[in-house]
Amino acid sequence: MHWLLLVLAGLLECAWAIGLKLSEGFTRPWVSTFTVLAIAASMLLLGLAARSLPIGTAYAVWVGIGSVGAAILGIVLLGEPANPARLACLALLVLAIVGLKLTTPDAAT
């Protein structure tokens, strides 16, 4: 359950990162409201996941999911560059996230 909470927290991080861009400096009220709510929910879920996971792992996975997701959404939705070097670096981040998951012992329940 703690890993699911962490993945959801990371996905919300992607959402609020894109929301920051789309809010245009918090000048668009609805997008800004969504962004602030996504930030709060993401932090809450990260905190809940960190109860059972090592904080170094939880934080690194949370940031990694958010970074990869925001970069992919930036490419798909905002027309940001998708050159081979950038995609290779994103693939390395995904490998690091998977590696952290595989090397983290099961948390005590």
Q: Each residue of 8-50: pLDDT tens digit? A: 999 999 999 999 999 999 999 999 999 999 999 999 999 999 9
Is residue 109 pLDDT above 70, yes or no? no
CA 88 to chain centre: 18
Identify the burial level of 36 via C-beta atoms within 10 angstroms of its C-beta, where 0-12 means exposed, 13-18 middle and 19 or more buried: middle
Residue 79 has a pLDDT of 94
Per-domain boundaries in the chain: 2-103
The beta-carbon contacts of 101-106 under 8 Å, at least 24 apart in sequence, are 101/3, 101/61, 104/53, 104/54, 104/57
Residue-level length of the chain: 109
Residue 104 has a pLDDT of 87
The confidence band for 107, taking pLDDT boundaries of 50, 70 and 90, is low
Those residues with Cβ within 8 angstroms of residue 54's Cβ, 6 or more apart along the chain or in another chain: 104
